[in-house]
Amino acid sequence: MQALELLISAVLAGIVLYQLYAVLGRRVGRQPEDEKPMARSAPVAVDGPEPVEAVDDTPLSGLAAVRSRDPNFNVAHFLNGAKMAYETIVKAFAAGDSAALERLLAPNVLAGFVSVIDQRAAEGRTEVVEFIQAPRADLESIDLTGHLVSAKVRFLAEFRSRTKGPEGEAVDDRRTAEVWTFTRMLTSPDPNWTLVRVDAAEA
């Protein structure tokens, strides 16, 4: 089942359209002039031990509920799959690979990405992204509402962007901090997760 969990997590689908594109242009998540971020509890690191069930008033209080419905859910394996999906989506979006994005994104989100990709192509611009090191993924929260599981994952990443346009070629090293929200219906025969939201975060 662990191998299946990795496979399931690796094909996470869905992402917020233009917000990710804007976030990727930032050096480090929110800037000092942005609004004060909401307080959050300590995340669960991907390379750390399996978390102990949290009390009801913490962001991870839904973990016990999720495991009661899906005993095979494993935080570390889920986060490993989420990191793979993160790298795949970022690279495909930068490269304008709509075919790769189509199998990972929800239809409404895909439409937004395609519009940005088309605009970039119309301007004669191309981009290639190379991760300097593997992104870090931490589980911020997981909750169960009815049959819907919602998991927020915080990513820290460093990558090099190579862009070409009418004005020439540019190379830019970037650091980003984002929180991605994934959802999955436990009653659905489709085991894939859907990425439904992306927010800037503190590095």
Is 37 among the domain residues? no
pLDDT tens digits, residue range 158-197? 999 999 999 899 999 999 999 988 889 999 888 888 888 8
Is 35 among the domain residues? no
Is 36 among the domain residues? no
Q: Which residues pair with 160 in a beta bridge?
A: 130, 173
Q: How confident is the model at residue 142 (pLDDT cuts 50, 70, 90)?
A: very high
Distance CA 192, CA 186 (A): 10
Strand, coil or helix: 169: strand
Mean pLDDT of the chain: 75
Is 39 among the domain residues? no
Question: 11 lies in which domain range?
Answer: 2-30+45-200
Distance CA 177, CA 189 (A): 33
Q: Count up the domains in the chain and report the number.
A: 1
Is 58 among the domain residues? yes
The candidate with the shortest Cα–Cα distance to 42, out of 169, 173, 154, is 154
The predicted structure's pLDDT at residue 162? 92
Q: How confident is the model at residue 16 (pLDDT cuts 50, 70, 90)?
A: very low
CB-based contacts of 28: which residues, under 8 Å, 6+ apart? 175, 176, 177, 203
Distance CA 10, CA 77 (A): 10
Distance CA 56, CA 77 (A): 24
The predicted structure's pLDDT at residue 33? 39
pLDDT for residue 96 is more than 60:
yes
Is 159 among the domain residues? yes
Q: How confident is the model at residue 203 (pLDDT cuts 50, 70, 90)?
A: low
Is 91 among the domain residues? yes
CB-based contacts of 64: which residues, under 8 Å, 6+ apart? 53, 54
CB-based contacts of 68: which residues, under 8 Å, 6+ apart? none
pLDDT tens digits, residue range 106-122? 777 788 889 999 999 99
The CATH number of residue 135's host domain is: 3.10.450.240
